[in-house]
Structure 1
């Protein structure tokens, strides 16, 4: 019998989806890729395959899970299986450089960004931001890894040459202009089946690391402020949100064969929107969803169920 196969490396982020799949009576199997193998001479099982591999897997001790996932996705696609968020989605998930180039291709404005490898090159790149606030972040990140705010080259030098410097897992540090929101929030737009579902307002007054997952909010040491992160309205769905950028997002997702994603943007004091992150392993905040009556994992489960008949045609 055909199933829905969920590919991932973190059980805490799939629990809510599994519950929804069971609620809808949909057959599924969990593929946890902490480690493993793929026999290239074998044939994949019948079914559809949903890739939820995370760019931040290395922070949970799963350094090579994305590489293993890449091999498995290539194997599945070679055999013509239906893959939700396939190889191209994974490529963008683990590289913000690729994300920004793809966003710009579709007329979506991104912050000025320079990619650098090596501490000396990071300092050299930052000279192009002199006199302005700027941030650093990791190219392969997730959960705001490596995000630091600076207002001077000297402050950056102290960080880069000091003991708290975070070496990116792929070696690439991004130096990026700081876009300041007058109301200290960002907006995350959620898409399922390539179509807009809802937008959530995320309070940034407590910092930059803003993973919406319930597990992150309390248990994950890499998320912003521990248990205090569950303060009321840190995540709030923006009812009735609409903006011309949504159409561009949908075009970009379709062109890259990405069906499920969360895309984040920030708005400056002049109303200009800057998009800075594509999350192909998207999570949702249960408190915000309960207040609005919109449920992302239920949308995903219904979408996967609707795609399941395709597996029988293979």
Structure 2
């Protein structure tokens, strides 16, 4: 019989190597389960172990166009066999839709940016006229800052929609959203493992970019400025912070065990939460500074779940 292991379902091998090393250091067996190909024997029993989904909303940009549907099928199969799944099928749907994320946040009382979801392109221009410029667009199935653009006039937006540079979302849903202005150029990302707070990261946005992925594999060539580290640990947040506790309650209600939540403070005093990233990546410099590195915490957490499965 094959030894039980933690199986990581993923669509990007470049993001997995850091976890491979951490799991080896913790003595936890890790098996990679790529989502861009494979076979599911729906009448056959899955292997024993713990199954961790790292489906990424941007998988289609890396040649893994089938990953979203493959993850849904695989997770549903695993859950039908009562396997221990971390970030399961319900969470996969949330990962690939900012509409679902927005609805979950709004329902639970979080301040969210005013957003209109437009299906197709026919109603884009009319919907945009309900926003006072400047405003931004996003892709519903996002990640990597996909489709995020700022528009300062309605004419500029119309030229974009009707021109050759228009970039449709993978699911055909474009989000129109109010532009949020911060007193200082940064947003905050809070990291959670096992539903519990690990640390917060202050993310510099002074360069005007919307690509906020903290992993080294996401680094943009030529965008290095040692004087202004783009990611630093924010020690002002602790597990006792009321906002952090609200985030923990949110994650529990959504069955999310591993995630990063992004929020910001605006010039008019709002604290706005706008993203739940269940395929969270980690910055090497921040991990080196953290008393409890998130990657090692994930290895320990999933290793503990694996012990429970093995003993039962």
TM-score bucket (shorter structure): over 0.9
Pick aligned residue for 1:25 from 27, 48, 56: 27
CA distance in 1, matches of 2:134, 2:286: 31
**Cα displacement (A) at 1:6:** 0.8
CA distance in 2, matches of 1:294, 1:286: 13
Moved more, 160-169 or 46-55: 160-169
CA distance in 1, matches of 2:107, 2:26: 38
Q: How does 1:225-304 map to 2 (within 5 A)?
A: 225-229=220-224, 231=226, 232-242=228-238, 243-304=241-302
Q: Which residue of 1 aligns with 2:36?
A: 34
User: Retained in 2: the 8 A contact 1:185–1:201?
Assistant: yes
**Cα displacement (A) at 1:299:** 1.0
**Cα displacement (A) at 1:313:** 4.8
**Cα displacement (A) at 1:122:** 1.4
**Cα displacement (A) at 1:230:** 6.3
Pick aligned residue for 2:53 from 48, 51, 54: 51
After superposition, the CA RMSD in angstroms is: 1.4
Moved more, 232-241 or 63-72: 232-241
CA distance in 1, matches of 2:143, 2:278: 10
| SS of equivalent residue, structure 1 residue 120 | coil
Q: How does 1:176-215 map to 2 (within 5 A)?
A: 176-206=177-207, 207-215=209-217
Q: Which residue of 1 aligns with 2:130?
A: 128
**Cα displacement (A) at 1:260:** 0.2
User: Retained in 2: the 8 A contact 1:108–1:245?
Assistant: no
**Cα displacement (A) at 1:292:** 3.7
CA distance in 1, matches of 2:202, 2:120: 35
Q: Which residue of 2 aligns with 1:157?
A: 158
Aligned length, in residue pairs: 306
Pick aligned residue for 1:67 from 51, 66, 69: 69
Instruction: Provide runs of 4+ in structure 1 moved above 6 Å.
Output: none
| SS of equivalent residue, structure 1 residue 137 | strand
Moved more, 157-166 or 227-236: 227-236
1:274-303, CA deviations, whole angstroms, 9 ceiling, x for partnerless residues?
111110000011012223444111111111
1:1-51, CA deviations, whole angstroms, 9 ceiling, x for partnerless residues?
211111101111111111100011111211112112211011011100011
CA 1:306–1:44: 2 relative to 1, 3 Å: same
Pick aligned residue for 2:303 from 290, 302, 305: 305
